[in-house]
């Protein structure tokens, strides 16, 4: 949520910042802006995408060896040129970019107004700029010290980069709740809200911790906490292939990420499965083996697509590890004073590892004494650092805002975890051992499922103008129905609902008429007959049925208008295949409707505010 880039060194800052903003645009795309220091602070900012800013600044003087840029996802103040970042303090001495929310901004603004400050924007960020300026002017202190004191007066979340005209040789950086990575180059630093704009310049990265401030010159960095105590930052090596950040011949990142799934799932399971012993090895959980074996209950917390993966996890853990599971929206869990007892294990699932609500849920669970695990994609992100242990899904960078390959890798990780804990607890059965083996076949079966692309283009053409969609499934396929509906509404803006197929009778059936497309996931499992009955109920009411079935199915063929056949696999692994045609369906419909697939309106990839 909001992308941040800063540069200080001997090269021209603007092209580096602009390129960084393009890489970060998936974090927010309401508006973009840069501040460059060359004697004076020059600010160029525009409502709209980074390309609008680029065009606007094309004939401007952008000479500078230090500066910062921002791509915004609006919180306070509608998207507009004025509300775009960077913001200047009233005197123009401080320029600031900010990711997060200053919750007590109204009180602070009132105070500053009474002291004669005026404001150009409706943002909380401009309030912070003037608060820093106020401490700076009245106390005769350094810019960094003014920032530190100001931040001690602020309630809320922030990732910040600040330039002070009076102290032109430094960038001041701070973090609470919103990630900040500092790339350490040779005589230069690149600062960003995640490592993606950094890795093309350097692989050495410092991840700032909450409540830390860094002062960065072109040759040095100093990190202190909000109490002015010097910290020893840890420089981490971040390995990220540059081509993983490019579209690689595809039209959209989402399309690339859908088609990458045979590889991303293979990467998630690589080195973790032993086909001879039919067992799973998860190095990240070794130290907590006993606690997992003795666990009384698992609470899975997540948001969005990760929450759907958690629902699949519920079925997996109950089946293979025989542990009671609760699945919680992190945003609900955190405010409910949840009951955590001895033996409870909280598992946070998050692609980005940065989602604010999921982070808050982790803090609460830790406070209450739970063992807290993470299942994350982004290495070095906040959640893996805040949890006791965990599993990386290794899906590679996911740039498309709508999550695809992270979902399948999360499900693969949850499947492995449930089988691993099943072994620890002695609940494994010959059937569950076969599932371990079957997991190895999944990447190839996903590849075959992707061959359905042409069929899905044809179906998309027929349904692209629909105004509603229903997605129905039972058991392991219920979360898949939810995920299919979410994908469609996120990127094509068609209203879609996912439901447990049997629940349809208790409401959604009233919606069915000859205009309602209904996607059934009706693969061969213990629910098959029941789902077929539900499907008949829809067909009888003239609903237009699109069914995802197991290869060779003959029964549904006679009932559904369209049938998509996916390879057979273990019933618990069906979500890994069944979700693929649903991803493709929403992708093609969105493209046909002319929607911006990678950057759907109002959404952001990583939601670092609550
Ligand atoms: C946002 C994204 C979703 C994602 C959700 C949770 O809403 O647009 O794609 O599923 O956040 O994000 P996380 O990084 O925690 O998985």
- In the reported structure, the alpha carbon of residue 408 is separated from the centroid of ligand 1 by a whole-number distance in angstroms of 14
C-alpha closest to that of 570 among 268, 310, 274, 312: 312
pLDDT at residue number 29:
82
User: In testing the pocket of ligand 1, which one of 354, 607, 609 has its CB within 8 Å of the most ligand atoms?
Assistant: 607
Of 27-41, 360-374, 596-610, the one with minimum mean pLDDT is 596-610
Burial of 283 (0-12, 13-18, 19+ CB in 10 A): exposed
Confidence class of residue 605 from pLDDT cuts 50, 70 and 90?
confident
Q: What mean pLDDT is predicted for residues 145-155? A: 97
Q: CA-to-CA distance for 566 and 586, rounded, in angstroms?
A: 17
Q: CA-to-CA distance for 488 and 327, rounded, in angstroms?
A: 23
Cα–chain center distance at 474? 27
pLDDT at residue number 175:
96
- The DSSP element (H or E) to which 305 belongs, if any, is helix 304-316
- In the reported structure, the alpha carbon of residue 141 is separated from the centroid of ligand 1 by a whole-number distance in angstroms of 41
Confidence class of residue 494 from pLDDT cuts 50, 70 and 90?
very high
- In the reported structure, the alpha carbon of residue 151 is separated from the centroid of ligand 1 by a whole-number distance in angstroms of 28
Q: For the chain, what's the residue count?
A: 610
CA-proximal residue: ligand 1, atom 3 (nearest): 304
User: In testing the pocket of ligand 1, which one of 329, 355, 604, 610 has its CB within 8 Å of the most ligand atoms?
Assistant: 355
Residue 2 annotated among the catalytic residues of the structure: yes
What digits encode the pLDDT tens for the residues 376-423? 999 888 999 999 999 999 999 999 999 999 999 999 999 999 999 999
Residues 394, 408: contact at Cβ < 8 Å? Answer: no
Q: CA-to-CA distance for 82 and 85, rounded, in angstroms?
A: 8
Q: CA-to-CA distance for 416 and 572, rounded, in angstroms?
A: 11
3-class secondary structure, 384: helix
What digits encode the pLDDT tens for the residues 416-469? 999 999 999 999 888 888 999 999 999 999 999 999 999 999 999 999 999 999
Cβ–ligand 1 distance for 350 under 6 Å, the answer yes
What digits encode the pLDDT tens for the residues 506-538? 988 889 999 999 999 999 999 999 999 999 999
Cα–chain center distance at 85? 22
C-alpha closest to that of 585 among 344, 254, 162, 251: 254
Residue 288 has pLDDT above 90, yes or no: yes
- In the reported structure, the alpha carbon of residue 56 is separated from the centroid of ligand 1 by a whole-number distance in angstroms of 32
pLDDT at residue number 443:
97
Which of 588 and 246 is assigned the larger pLDDT?
A: 588
Residues 96, 160: contact at Cβ < 8 Å? Answer: yes
pLDDT at residue number 528:
93
Residues 298, 326: contact at Cβ < 8 Å? Answer: yes
Q: CA-to-CA distance for 606 and 610, rounded, in angstroms?
A: 11
Q: pTM surpassing 0.75?
A: yes
And the tokens for 405? 């390959």
And the tokens for 101? 């929310």
Atom of ligand 1 nearest to the CA of 303: 6
3-class secondary structure, 46: strand
Atom of ligand 1 nearest to the CA of 604: 8
Residue 524 annotated among the catalytic residues of the structure: no
Cβ–ligand 1 distance for 403 under 6 Å, the answer yes
What digits encode the pLDDT tens for the residues 535-593? 999 999 999 999 999 999 999 999 999 999 999 999 999 999 999 999 999 999 999 99
Burial 419-458 (b: 16+ CB within 10 A, else e): bbbbbbbebbeeebbebbebbeebbebbbebbebbebbbe
Contacts of 220 (CB under 8 A, 6+ apart): none
Residues 86, 107: contact at Cβ < 8 Å? Answer: no
Residues 343, 297: contact at Cβ < 8 Å? Answer: yes
């Amino acid at each position: 949520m909001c992308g941040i880039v800063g540069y200080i060194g001997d090269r021209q800052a603007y092209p580096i910042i602009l390129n960084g903003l393009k890489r970060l645009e998936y974090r927010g795309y309401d508006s973009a802006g840069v501040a460059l220091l060359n004697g004076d602070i020059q600010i160029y900012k525009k409502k709209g995408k980074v390309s609008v800013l680029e065009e606007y600044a094309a004939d401007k003087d952008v000479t500078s060896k230090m500066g910062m840029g921002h791509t915004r996802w609006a919180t306070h103040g509608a998207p507009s040129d004025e509300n775009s970042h960077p913001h200047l303090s009233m005197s123009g001495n401080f320029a600031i970019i900010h990711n997060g929310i200053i919750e007590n901004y109204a009180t602070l603004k009132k105070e500053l107004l009474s002291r004669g400050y005026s404001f150009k924007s409706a943002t909380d960020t401009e309030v912070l700029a003037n608060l820093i300026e106020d401490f700076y002017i009245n106390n005769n202190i350094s810019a960094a010290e003014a920032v530190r004191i100001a931040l001690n007066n602020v309630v809320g979340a922030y990732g910040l980069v600040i330039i002070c005209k009076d102290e032109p040789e430094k960038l001041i950086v701070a973090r609470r709740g919103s990630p900040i990575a500092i790339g350490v180059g040779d005589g230069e630093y690149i600062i960003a809200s995640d490592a993606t704009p950094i890795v093309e310049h350097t692989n050495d990265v410092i991840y700032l911790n909450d409540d830390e401030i860094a002062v960065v010159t072109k040759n040095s960095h100093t990190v202190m906490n909000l109490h002015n105590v010097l910290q020893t930052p840890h420089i981490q090596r971040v390995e990220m292939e540059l081509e993983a950040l490019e579209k690689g011949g595809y039209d959209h990142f989402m399309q690339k990420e859908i088609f990458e799934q045979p590889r991303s799932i293979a990467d998630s399971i690589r080195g973790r499965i032993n086909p001879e012993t039919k067992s799973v090895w998860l190095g990240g959980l070794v130290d907590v083996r006993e606690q997992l074996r003795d666990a009384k209950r698992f609470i899975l917390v997540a948001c969005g697509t990760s929450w759907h993966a958690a629902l699949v996890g519920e079925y997996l853990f109950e089946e293979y590890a025989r542990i009671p599971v609760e699945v919680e929206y992190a945003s609900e869990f955190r405010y409910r004073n949840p009951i955590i007892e001895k033996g409870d294990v909280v598992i946070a699932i998050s692609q980005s590892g940065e989602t604010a609500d999921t982070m808050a849920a982790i803090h609460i669970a830790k406070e209450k004494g739970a063992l807290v695990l993470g299942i994350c994609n982004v290495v070095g992100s906040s959640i893996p650092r805040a949890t006791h242990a965990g599993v990386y899904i290794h899906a590679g960078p996911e740039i498309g805002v709508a999550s695809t390959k992270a979902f399948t890798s999360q499900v693969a990780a949850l499947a492995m975890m449930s089988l691993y804990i099943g072994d620890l607890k002695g609940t494994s059965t010959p059937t569950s051992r076969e599932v371990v083996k079957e997991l190895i076949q999944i990447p190839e079966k996903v590849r075959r499922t992707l061959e359905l692309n042409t069929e899905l283009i044809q179906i998309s053409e027929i349904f692209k103008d629909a105004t509603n969609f229903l997605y129905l499934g039972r058991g392991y396929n219920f979360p898949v129905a939810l995920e299919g509906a979410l994908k469609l509404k996120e990127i094509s803006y068609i209203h879609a609902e996912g439901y447990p197929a049997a629940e349809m009778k208790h409401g959604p059936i009233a919606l069915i008429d000859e205009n309602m497309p209904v996607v059934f996931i009706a693969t061969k499992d213990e629910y098959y007959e029941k789902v077929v009955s539900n499907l008949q109920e829809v067909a009888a009411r003239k609903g237009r049925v699109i069914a995802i079935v197991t290869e060779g199915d003959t029964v549904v063929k006679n009932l559904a208008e369209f049938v998509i056949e996916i390879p057979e696999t273990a019933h618990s692994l069906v979500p890994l295949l069944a979700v693929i045609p649903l991803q493709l369906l929403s992708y093609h419909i969105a493209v046909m409707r002319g929607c911006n697939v990678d950057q759907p309106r109002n959404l952001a990839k990583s939601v670092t505010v609550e």
